[in-house]
Amino acid sequence: MDRPQDKCGVVGISFGRKRSVAPFLYNALRALQHRGQESCGITVYDGKELTLHSGMGYVHEVLGKKELKDIEGSCGIGHTRYSTTGGSRARNVQPFVGSTDVGDLALGHNGDIVNACEIMQDRQARGWAFLTSSDTELILRLLANELVDNPEVPKAMAIVAKRLRGAYSLCLQVGESIYGIRDPLGIRPLHLGHIEDGYMFASESVAIDTLGGDPIRDVEPGEVVELRKGRLTSHRFAKSKGTAHCMFEWVYFARPDSIIEGSEVYKVRQKIGRILAREHPIEADVAFGVPDSGRAHALGYATEAGIEYDEGMMKNRYVGRTFILPSQRTRESDTLAKLNPIKSVVSGKKVVMVDDSIVRGTTMRRSVKMLRRAGAEEVHVRIGVPHIIAPCPFGIDMKTRDQFLARGRTDEEISKIIGADSVGYLSLPGLEEAIGLPLERLCCGCLTEEYALDIPEGHLSDNTIC
Ligand code: SF4
Protein backbone atom coordinates (compact mmCIF):
# COMPACT_ATOMS: atom_id res chain seq x y z
CA MET A 1 0.00 0.00 0.00
CA ASP A 2 1.51 3.32 -1.06
CA ARG A 3 -1.53 5.38 -0.24
CA PRO A 4 -3.70 5.52 2.83
CA GLN A 5 -6.91 3.55 2.50
CA ASP A 6 -10.15 2.89 4.32
CA LYS A 7 -12.74 5.56 4.10
CA CYS A 8 -16.47 5.50 3.58
CA GLY A 9 -19.16 7.58 1.94
CA VAL A 10 -22.55 8.41 3.44
CA VAL A 11 -25.66 9.99 1.97
CA GLY A 12 -29.15 10.86 3.23
CA ILE A 13 -32.05 12.33 1.23
CA SER A 14 -35.51 13.57 2.19
CA PHE A 15 -38.02 14.82 -0.38
CA GLY A 16 -41.01 16.98 0.50
CA ARG A 17 -43.46 15.24 -1.80
CA LYS A 18 -43.98 11.61 -2.62
CA ARG A 19 -41.42 10.23 -5.05
CA SER A 20 -39.01 7.31 -5.16
CA VAL A 21 -35.77 8.26 -3.40
CA ALA A 22 -33.92 5.02 -4.20
CA PRO A 23 -32.60 6.01 -7.67
CA PHE A 24 -31.27 9.25 -6.13
CA LEU A 25 -29.50 7.37 -3.36
CA TYR A 26 -28.01 5.07 -6.00
CA ASN A 27 -26.63 7.96 -8.07
CA ALA A 28 -25.29 9.73 -5.00
CA LEU A 29 -23.47 6.57 -3.92
CA ARG A 30 -22.05 6.19 -7.44
CA ALA A 31 -20.61 9.71 -7.07
CA LEU A 32 -19.05 8.64 -3.76
CA GLN A 33 -17.74 5.29 -5.04
CA HIS A 34 -14.13 6.49 -4.71
CA ARG A 35 -14.64 6.55 -0.92
CA GLY A 36 -15.31 2.84 -0.73
CA GLN A 37 -15.69 -0.08 -3.10
CA GLU A 38 -16.08 -3.04 -0.81
CA SER A 39 -19.81 -2.97 -0.12
CA CYS A 40 -22.77 -0.63 -0.11
CA GLY A 41 -26.39 -0.33 0.87
CA ILE A 42 -29.44 1.88 1.12
CA THR A 43 -32.46 2.02 3.42
CA VAL A 44 -35.79 3.51 2.38
CA TYR A 45 -38.91 4.26 4.45
CA ASP A 46 -42.26 3.82 2.67
CA GLY A 47 -44.49 5.22 5.42
CA LYS A 48 -44.89 1.87 7.14
CA GLU A 49 -41.56 0.15 7.24
CA LEU A 50 -37.90 0.66 6.56
CA THR A 51 -36.33 -1.64 3.97
CA LEU A 52 -32.66 -2.40 3.46
CA HIS A 53 -31.00 -3.22 0.13
CA SER A 54 -27.30 -3.99 0.47
CA GLY A 55 -24.46 -6.31 -0.50
CA MET A 56 -20.77 -6.76 -1.23
CA GLY A 57 -19.37 -5.04 -4.33
CA TYR A 58 -19.52 -1.84 -6.32
CA VAL A 59 -22.68 0.25 -6.14
CA HIS A 60 -23.75 -0.73 -9.67
CA GLU A 61 -23.15 -4.41 -8.90
CA VAL A 62 -25.22 -4.39 -5.72
CA LEU A 63 -27.98 -1.93 -6.59
CA GLY A 64 -27.77 -1.49 -10.36
CA LYS A 65 -29.78 -4.55 -11.20
CA LYS A 66 -32.69 -3.68 -8.92
CA GLU A 67 -35.76 -1.85 -10.14
CA LEU A 68 -34.97 1.07 -7.89
CA LYS A 69 -37.77 3.30 -9.09
CA ASP A 70 -40.24 0.68 -7.90
CA ILE A 71 -38.98 0.91 -4.33
CA GLU A 72 -41.50 3.12 -2.58
CA GLY A 73 -40.40 5.81 -0.16
CA SER A 74 -39.32 9.43 -0.43
CA CYS A 75 -36.60 9.39 2.23
CA GLY A 76 -33.60 7.18 2.83
CA ILE A 77 -29.91 6.88 3.53
CA GLY A 78 -27.01 5.14 1.81
CA HIS A 79 -23.48 4.02 2.55
CA THR A 80 -20.48 2.83 0.58
CA ARG A 81 -17.65 1.12 2.44
CA TYR A 82 -13.98 0.30 2.12
CA SER A 83 -12.31 -1.65 4.88
CA THR A 84 -9.14 -3.62 5.47
CA THR A 85 -9.15 -7.29 4.49
CA GLY A 86 -9.94 -8.44 8.04
CA GLY A 87 -13.06 -6.30 8.25
CA SER A 88 -14.32 -7.23 4.80
CA ARG A 89 -17.38 -9.25 5.77
CA ALA A 90 -20.96 -9.24 4.58
CA ARG A 91 -22.20 -8.68 8.14
CA ASN A 92 -20.29 -5.37 8.33
CA VAL A 93 -22.10 -3.95 5.30
CA GLN A 94 -23.86 -0.67 6.10
CA PRO A 95 -26.34 0.88 6.76
CA PHE A 96 -26.88 -1.02 10.00
CA VAL A 97 -30.54 -1.44 10.89
CA GLY A 98 -32.23 -2.00 14.26
CA SER A 99 -35.73 -1.96 15.74
CA THR A 100 -36.62 0.21 18.75
CA ASP A 101 -39.64 1.60 20.56
CA VAL A 102 -39.42 4.79 18.50
CA GLY A 103 -39.34 2.85 15.24
CA ASP A 104 -36.79 1.26 12.94
CA LEU A 105 -33.36 2.91 12.87
CA ALA A 106 -30.73 2.79 10.15
CA LEU A 107 -27.20 4.16 10.45
CA GLY A 108 -24.34 4.82 8.02
CA HIS A 109 -21.00 5.92 9.49
CA ASN A 110 -17.80 7.42 8.13
CA GLY A 111 -14.98 7.52 10.68
CA ASP A 112 -13.64 5.54 13.60
CA ILE A 113 -14.45 5.59 17.31
CA VAL A 114 -11.15 5.33 19.19
CA ASN A 115 -12.63 4.19 22.52
CA ALA A 116 -15.10 1.73 20.95
CA CYS A 117 -13.31 -1.25 22.45
CA GLU A 118 -13.53 0.18 25.97
CA ILE A 119 -17.25 0.98 25.62
CA MET A 120 -18.03 -2.41 24.07
CA GLN A 121 -16.26 -4.26 26.87
CA ASP A 122 -18.15 -2.22 29.43
CA ARG A 123 -21.47 -3.01 27.72
CA GLN A 124 -20.64 -6.68 27.30
CA ALA A 125 -20.06 -6.83 31.04
CA ARG A 126 -23.64 -5.57 31.43
CA GLY A 127 -25.02 -8.30 29.20
CA TRP A 128 -25.05 -6.64 25.79
CA ALA A 129 -24.20 -8.97 22.91
CA PHE A 130 -22.72 -7.52 19.72
CA LEU A 131 -23.26 -9.11 16.32
CA THR A 132 -20.30 -7.48 14.58
CA SER A 133 -16.89 -5.96 15.31
CA SER A 134 -18.07 -2.63 13.93
CA ASP A 135 -18.13 0.60 15.91
CA THR A 136 -21.16 1.57 13.81
CA GLU A 137 -23.18 -1.15 15.53
CA LEU A 138 -21.99 0.27 18.84
CA ILE A 139 -23.20 3.79 17.97
CA LEU A 140 -26.54 2.41 16.76
CA ARG A 141 -27.07 0.45 19.97
CA LEU A 142 -26.04 3.32 22.23
CA LEU A 143 -28.45 5.60 20.40
CA ALA A 144 -31.28 3.06 20.45
CA ASN A 145 -30.75 2.58 24.17
CA GLU A 146 -30.79 6.31 24.84
CA LEU A 147 -33.88 6.92 22.69
CA VAL A 148 -35.94 4.85 25.13
CA ASP A 149 -35.65 7.64 27.75
CA ASN A 150 -34.96 10.54 25.38
CA PRO A 151 -37.04 10.00 22.22
CA GLU A 152 -35.64 13.14 20.56
CA VAL A 153 -32.54 12.32 18.53
CA PRO A 154 -30.56 15.54 19.31
CA LYS A 155 -31.01 14.93 23.06
CA ALA A 156 -30.13 11.25 22.77
CA MET A 157 -27.14 12.13 20.61
CA ALA A 158 -25.94 14.66 23.20
CA ILE A 159 -25.79 11.89 25.78
CA VAL A 160 -24.18 9.34 23.44
CA ALA A 161 -21.60 11.90 22.29
CA LYS A 162 -20.32 12.27 25.85
CA ARG A 163 -19.15 8.64 25.67
CA LEU A 164 -17.80 8.56 22.13
CA ARG A 165 -14.28 9.71 21.26
CA GLY A 166 -13.31 9.78 17.63
CA ALA A 167 -14.46 10.54 14.13
CA TYR A 168 -18.08 10.19 13.10
CA SER A 169 -19.97 11.68 10.22
CA LEU A 170 -23.30 9.91 10.39
CA CYS A 171 -26.47 9.59 8.38
CA LEU A 172 -29.21 8.29 10.63
CA GLN A 173 -32.73 7.35 9.59
CA VAL A 174 -35.55 7.11 12.09
CA GLY A 175 -38.69 6.41 10.08
CA GLU A 176 -39.29 9.44 7.88
CA SER A 177 -36.67 11.61 9.60
CA ILE A 178 -33.14 11.73 8.24
CA TYR A 179 -30.38 13.11 10.47
CA GLY A 180 -26.91 14.31 9.48
CA ILE A 181 -24.56 14.27 12.46
CA ARG A 182 -20.91 15.36 12.61
CA ASP A 183 -18.54 14.79 15.53
CA PRO A 184 -17.51 17.85 17.57
CA LEU A 185 -14.10 18.01 15.86
CA GLY A 186 -15.52 17.65 12.33
CA ILE A 187 -12.83 15.12 11.44
CA ARG A 188 -14.61 13.59 8.44
CA PRO A 189 -16.61 15.75 6.03
CA LEU A 190 -20.40 15.93 5.70
CA HIS A 191 -22.15 18.36 3.36
CA LEU A 192 -25.72 19.63 3.35
CA GLY A 193 -27.51 20.47 0.12
CA HIS A 194 -30.84 21.37 -1.41
CA ILE A 195 -32.45 18.99 -3.87
CA GLU A 196 -35.77 19.62 -5.63
CA ASP A 197 -38.30 20.21 -2.82
CA GLY A 198 -36.13 18.60 -0.18
CA TYR A 199 -32.65 18.35 1.28
CA MET A 200 -29.79 15.91 1.37
CA PHE A 201 -26.53 15.10 3.11
CA ALA A 202 -23.47 13.60 1.46
CA SER A 203 -19.87 13.00 2.47
CA GLU A 204 -18.84 15.24 -0.41
CA SER A 205 -20.57 18.07 -2.23
CA VAL A 206 -19.94 16.31 -5.56
CA ALA A 207 -22.79 13.87 -4.78
CA ILE A 208 -25.17 16.83 -4.40
CA ASP A 209 -23.95 18.32 -7.71
CA THR A 210 -24.42 14.96 -9.43
CA LEU A 211 -28.10 14.86 -8.49
CA GLY A 212 -28.65 18.39 -9.81
CA GLY A 213 -28.90 19.78 -6.28
CA ASP A 214 -27.27 22.82 -4.73
CA PRO A 215 -24.64 22.38 -2.03
CA ILE A 216 -25.48 24.70 0.89
CA ARG A 217 -22.80 24.24 3.55
CA ASP A 218 -20.85 21.75 5.64
CA VAL A 219 -22.72 20.25 8.57
CA GLU A 220 -20.99 21.93 11.50
CA PRO A 221 -18.93 20.00 14.03
CA GLY A 222 -21.23 19.06 16.92
CA GLU A 223 -24.38 19.72 14.86
CA VAL A 224 -27.28 17.42 14.12
CA VAL A 225 -29.49 18.46 11.22
CA GLU A 226 -32.90 16.84 10.82
CA LEU A 227 -34.61 16.53 7.44
CA ARG A 228 -38.29 15.65 7.48
CA LYS A 229 -40.84 15.97 4.68
CA GLY A 230 -38.84 18.67 2.91
CA ARG A 231 -38.14 20.67 6.07
CA LEU A 232 -34.85 21.20 7.82
CA THR A 233 -34.08 21.84 11.49
CA SER A 234 -30.68 22.25 13.08
CA HIS A 235 -29.68 21.39 16.65
CA ARG A 236 -26.42 21.39 18.52
CA PHE A 237 -25.66 18.18 20.39
CA ALA A 238 -22.13 19.05 21.54
CA LYS A 239 -19.95 22.12 21.87
CA SER A 240 -17.14 22.28 19.37
CA LYS A 241 -14.06 23.66 21.12
CA GLY A 242 -12.01 23.53 17.94
CA THR A 243 -11.86 21.48 14.77
CA ALA A 244 -9.60 18.73 13.43
CA HIS A 245 -10.58 18.34 9.78
CA CYS A 246 -8.58 15.53 8.17
CA MET A 247 -6.04 17.23 5.90
CA PHE A 248 -5.95 14.09 3.72
CA GLU A 249 -9.43 14.83 2.39
CA TRP A 250 -7.93 17.71 0.37
CA VAL A 251 -4.66 15.96 -0.41
CA TYR A 252 -6.01 12.65 -1.67
CA PHE A 253 -9.34 11.21 -0.46
CA ALA A 254 -11.95 13.59 -1.79
CA ARG A 255 -12.85 14.05 -5.43
CA PRO A 256 -11.17 17.11 -6.97
CA ASP A 257 -14.57 18.60 -7.84
CA SER A 258 -15.74 18.57 -4.22
CA ILE A 259 -15.73 21.58 -1.91
CA ILE A 260 -14.74 20.99 1.70
CA GLU A 261 -14.92 23.72 4.32
CA GLY A 262 -15.23 26.25 1.52
CA SER A 263 -12.14 25.14 -0.44
CA GLU A 264 -12.35 23.36 -3.78
CA VAL A 265 -10.19 20.24 -3.60
CA TYR A 266 -8.80 20.67 -7.13
CA LYS A 267 -7.60 24.20 -6.38
CA VAL A 268 -5.96 23.09 -3.14
CA ARG A 269 -4.09 20.31 -4.98
CA GLN A 270 -2.84 22.69 -7.66
CA LYS A 271 -1.70 25.10 -4.98
CA ILE A 272 0.12 22.28 -3.21
CA GLY A 273 1.99 21.64 -6.49
CA ARG A 274 2.90 25.30 -6.83
CA ILE A 275 4.18 25.53 -3.27
CA LEU A 276 6.08 22.27 -3.74
CA ALA A 277 7.83 23.77 -6.79
CA ARG A 278 8.91 26.75 -4.68
CA GLU A 279 10.04 24.58 -1.78
CA HIS A 280 11.80 21.92 -3.88
CA PRO A 281 12.86 23.37 -7.24
CA ILE A 282 14.80 21.23 -9.69
CA GLU A 283 16.03 21.61 -13.25
CA ALA A 284 13.95 19.21 -15.28
CA ASP A 285 12.44 18.75 -18.75
CA VAL A 286 8.99 17.54 -17.85
CA ALA A 287 6.66 17.10 -14.84
CA PHE A 288 3.79 14.66 -14.54
CA GLY A 289 1.59 13.23 -11.82
CA VAL A 290 1.07 9.65 -10.75
CA PRO A 291 -2.42 9.01 -12.12
CA ASP A 292 -4.99 9.91 -11.11
CA SER A 293 -4.57 11.64 -7.81
CA GLY A 294 -1.16 13.27 -8.45
CA ARG A 295 -2.23 15.06 -11.63
CA ALA A 296 -3.51 18.33 -10.17
CA HIS A 297 -0.44 18.56 -7.91
CA ALA A 298 1.84 18.03 -10.94
CA LEU A 299 0.05 20.65 -13.02
CA GLY A 300 0.61 23.17 -10.22
CA TYR A 301 4.25 22.14 -9.94
CA ALA A 302 4.92 22.46 -13.69
CA THR A 303 3.12 25.81 -13.94
CA GLU A 304 5.08 27.33 -11.05
CA ALA A 305 8.41 25.83 -12.16
CA GLY A 306 7.85 26.86 -15.78
CA ILE A 307 8.52 23.37 -17.11
CA GLU A 308 6.51 21.25 -19.49
CA TYR A 309 3.53 19.31 -18.07
CA ASP A 310 2.72 16.03 -19.75
CA GLU A 311 1.30 12.57 -19.10
CA GLY A 312 4.31 10.48 -18.17
CA MET A 313 2.36 7.51 -16.88
CA MET A 314 -0.84 5.82 -17.84
CA LYS A 315 -3.19 3.90 -15.64
CA ASN A 316 -5.21 0.90 -16.69
CA ARG A 317 -8.58 1.51 -15.08
CA TYR A 318 -9.94 -1.89 -15.93
CA VAL A 319 -7.73 -4.09 -13.76
CA GLY A 320 -10.43 -4.23 -11.10
CA ARG A 321 -10.59 -3.94 -7.38
CA THR A 322 -7.45 -4.45 -5.35
CA PHE A 323 -9.09 -5.00 -1.97
CA ILE A 324 -10.30 -8.50 -2.76
CA LEU A 325 -6.78 -9.71 -3.51
CA PRO A 326 -5.54 -12.03 -0.78
CA SER A 327 -2.30 -10.41 0.36
CA GLN A 328 -0.50 -7.10 0.58
CA ARG A 329 2.04 -8.37 -1.94
CA THR A 330 -0.63 -9.20 -4.54
CA ARG A 331 -2.35 -5.89 -3.94
CA GLU A 332 0.93 -4.05 -4.59
CA SER A 333 1.73 -5.96 -7.79
CA ASP A 334 -1.84 -5.38 -8.90
CA THR A 335 -1.38 -1.64 -8.35
CA LEU A 336 1.73 -1.82 -10.50
CA ALA A 337 -0.11 -3.67 -13.24
CA LYS A 338 -2.23 -0.55 -13.53
CA LEU A 339 0.70 1.81 -14.23
CA ASN A 340 2.90 2.09 -17.30
CA PRO A 341 5.24 4.91 -18.42
CA ILE A 342 4.90 6.64 -21.79
CA LYS A 343 8.34 6.22 -23.32
CA SER A 344 8.22 9.22 -25.67
CA VAL A 345 7.49 11.51 -22.70
CA VAL A 346 10.21 10.24 -20.37
CA SER A 347 12.98 8.78 -22.54
CA GLY A 348 16.21 10.80 -22.37
CA LYS A 349 14.53 13.36 -20.07
CA LYS A 350 15.01 14.69 -16.58
CA VAL A 351 11.57 14.04 -15.13
CA VAL A 352 9.68 15.21 -12.04
CA MET A 353 7.10 12.69 -10.88
CA VAL A 354 4.58 14.16 -8.44
CA ASP A 355 2.44 12.03 -6.17
CA ASP A 356 0.00 12.96 -3.42
CA SER A 357 1.61 10.81 -0.71
CA ILE A 358 3.88 7.87 0.14
CA VAL A 359 3.12 5.38 2.91
CA ARG A 360 5.38 2.33 2.48
CA GLY A 361 7.21 3.36 -0.68
CA THR A 362 7.02 -0.04 -2.41
CA THR A 363 4.98 1.16 -5.36
CA MET A 364 7.00 4.34 -5.64
CA ARG A 365 10.26 2.36 -5.81
CA ARG A 366 8.91 0.22 -8.59
CA SER A 367 7.48 3.22 -10.45
CA VAL A 368 10.91 4.89 -10.42
CA LYS A 369 12.44 1.67 -11.74
CA MET A 370 9.87 1.59 -14.55
CA LEU A 371 10.71 5.15 -15.52
CA ARG A 372 14.42 4.38 -15.66
CA ARG A 373 13.74 1.31 -17.78
CA ALA A 374 11.72 3.54 -20.10
CA GLY A 375 14.84 5.69 -20.56
CA ALA A 376 14.39 8.54 -18.04
CA GLU A 377 17.76 10.21 -17.46
CA GLU A 378 16.93 11.56 -14.01
CA VAL A 379 13.89 10.88 -11.82
CA HIS A 380 12.96 13.45 -9.18
CA VAL A 381 10.07 12.61 -6.87
CA ARG A 382 7.91 15.31 -5.28
CA ILE A 383 5.26 14.52 -2.69
CA GLY A 384 2.23 16.73 -2.06
CA VAL A 385 2.06 16.21 1.69
CA PRO A 386 4.66 16.26 4.51
CA HIS A 387 6.25 12.97 5.66
CA ILE A 388 3.72 10.40 6.89
CA ILE A 389 5.26 9.00 10.06
CA ALA A 390 2.41 7.96 12.35
CA PRO A 391 -0.76 5.86 12.39
CA CYS A 392 -4.25 7.21 11.79
CA PRO A 393 -6.71 6.52 14.60
CA PHE A 394 -9.66 8.05 12.75
CA GLY A 395 -10.65 5.48 10.15
CA ILE A 396 -7.78 5.41 7.67
CA ASP A 397 -5.93 2.15 7.15
CA MET A 398 -2.52 3.23 8.48
CA LYS A 399 -2.10 1.66 11.87
CA THR A 400 1.35 0.17 12.38
CA ARG A 401 4.34 2.49 12.79
CA ASP A 402 6.85 0.22 11.06
CA GLN A 403 5.05 0.57 7.72
CA PHE A 404 6.00 4.21 7.18
CA LEU A 405 8.89 4.80 4.80
CA ALA A 406 9.55 8.31 6.10
CA ARG A 407 9.61 7.45 9.81
CA GLY A 408 13.12 8.11 11.16
CA ARG A 409 14.64 8.62 7.71
CA THR A 410 16.16 11.65 5.96
CA ASP A 411 15.10 12.65 2.45
CA GLU A 412 18.48 11.40 1.17
CA GLU A 413 17.84 7.97 2.70
CA ILE A 414 14.29 7.89 1.30
CA SER A 415 15.59 8.91 -2.10
CA LYS A 416 18.10 6.07 -2.03
CA ILE A 417 15.47 3.50 -1.02
CA ILE A 418 13.07 4.44 -3.81
CA GLY A 419 15.95 4.81 -6.31
CA ALA A 420 15.22 8.46 -7.17
CA ASP A 421 17.75 11.21 -7.88
CA SER A 422 16.00 13.41 -5.34
CA VAL A 423 12.86 13.52 -3.24
CA GLY A 424 11.04 16.55 -1.84
CA TYR A 425 8.03 16.69 0.45
CA LEU A 426 5.62 19.57 1.02
CA SER A 427 6.22 21.36 4.34
CA LEU A 428 3.58 21.75 7.07
CA PRO A 429 3.40 25.55 6.54
CA GLY A 430 3.02 24.79 2.82
CA LEU A 431 0.11 22.47 3.55
CA GLU A 432 -1.50 25.12 5.75
CA GLU A 433 -1.14 27.72 3.02
CA ALA A 434 -2.58 25.43 0.34
CA ILE A 435 -5.65 24.37 2.34
CA GLY A 436 -6.20 27.90 3.60
CA LEU A 437 -7.04 26.89 7.18
CA PRO A 438 -4.75 27.27 10.19
CA LEU A 439 -3.01 24.04 11.26
CA GLU A 440 -4.84 24.22 14.63
CA ARG A 441 -8.10 23.59 12.76
CA LEU A 442 -6.75 20.55 10.90
CA CYS A 443 -5.89 17.01 11.91
CA CYS A 444 -2.29 16.36 10.87
CA GLY A 445 -1.81 13.47 13.32
CA CYS A 446 -0.21 11.07 10.83
CA LEU A 447 2.39 13.79 10.06
CA THR A 448 3.11 15.02 13.57
CA GLU A 449 2.04 12.14 15.83
CA GLU A 450 -0.04 14.67 17.75
CA TYR A 451 -3.75 13.97 17.83
CA ALA A 452 -6.70 16.09 18.85
CA LEU A 453 -7.87 13.34 21.24
CA ASP A 454 -6.22 10.87 23.61
CA ILE A 455 -5.77 7.66 21.63
CA PRO A 456 -5.58 4.27 23.38
CA GLU A 457 -2.36 2.58 22.23
CA GLY A 458 -4.21 -0.63 21.26
CA HIS A 459 -6.28 1.36 18.81
CA LEU A 460 -3.20 2.36 16.85
CA SER A 461 -1.88 -1.13 16.25
CA ASP A 462 -4.96 -3.10 15.34
CA ASN A 463 -7.69 -2.56 12.77
CA THR A 464 -10.29 -4.69 14.49
CA ILE A 465 -11.63 -2.79 17.43
CA CYS A 466 -11.95 -5.48 20.10
S1 SF4 B 1 -4.30 11.04 11.27
FE2 SF4 B 1 -3.93 11.67 9.13
S3 SF4 B 1 -5.31 10.44 7.84
FE4 SF4 B 1 -6.01 10.27 9.99
S5 SF4 B 1 -7.59 11.84 10.23
FE6 SF4 B 1 -5.67 12.75 10.89
S7 SF4 B 1 -4.83 13.69 9.02
FE8 SF4 B 1 -6.44 12.30 8.37
Q: What's the CATH code of the domain at 226?
A: 3.60.20.10
CA 389/CA 409 separation, integer angstroms: 10
Residues of the chain under the 70 pLDDT cut: 1-6, 83-88, 318-336, 461-466
Q: Candidates 252, 392, 441: which one to mutate for ligand 1, based on the most atoms within 8 Å of Cβ?
A: 392
State whether the beta carbon of 445 lies less than 6 angstroms from ligand 1.
yes
**In this structure, is residue 25 part of a structural domain?**
yes
One domain, residues 430 and 319:
yes
**In this structure, is residue 171 part of a structural domain?**
yes
One domain, residues 382 and 438:
yes
Distance separating the N- and C-terminal Cα atoms of the chain: 24
**In this structure, is residue 2 part of a structural domain?**
no
Total-model pTM: 0.93
**In this structure, is residue 258 part of a structural domain?**
no
One domain, residues 56 and 167:
yes
One domain, residues 233 and 280:
no
Cα angle at 174 between 172 and 175, to 5 degrees? 135
CA 403/CA 179 separation, integer angstroms: 38
One domain, residues 273 and 132:
no
Cis peptide before 95 (omega within 30 of 0): yes
Residues 6+ apart with CB under 8 A from 185: 167, 221, 240, 242, 243, 244, 443, 452, 453
What's the pLDDT at 401? 79
One domain, residues 453 and 331:
yes
User: Over the stretch 142-172, which tens digit does the pLDDT of each residue have?
Assistant: 999 999 998 999 999 999 999 999 999 999 9
**In this structure, is residue 152 part of a structural domain?**
yes
Instruction: Decide if 8 is catalytic.
Output: yes
One domain, residues 205 and 274:
no
One domain, residues 290 and 182:
no
User: Over the stretch 13-72, which tens digit does the pLDDT of each residue have?
Assistant: 999 999 999 999 999 999 999 999 899 999 999 999 999 999 999 999 999 978 898 999
**In this structure, is residue 402 part of a structural domain?**
yes
Count of structural domains, the chain: 2
Q: How remote is the CA of residue 397 from the centroid of ligand 1, in Å?
A: 10
Q: Which run of H or E residues covers position 408?
A: none
The DSSP result for 91-105, as a single string, is GG-SSEEEEETTEEE
One domain, residues 384 and 427:
yes
State whether the beta carbon of 431 lies less than 6 angstroms from ligand 1.
no
Helices (H) and strands (E) in the chain, counts: 16, 24
Q: At which of 192, 214, 243 does a domain end? A: 243
Q: Residue 202 belongs to what domain range?
A: 8-243
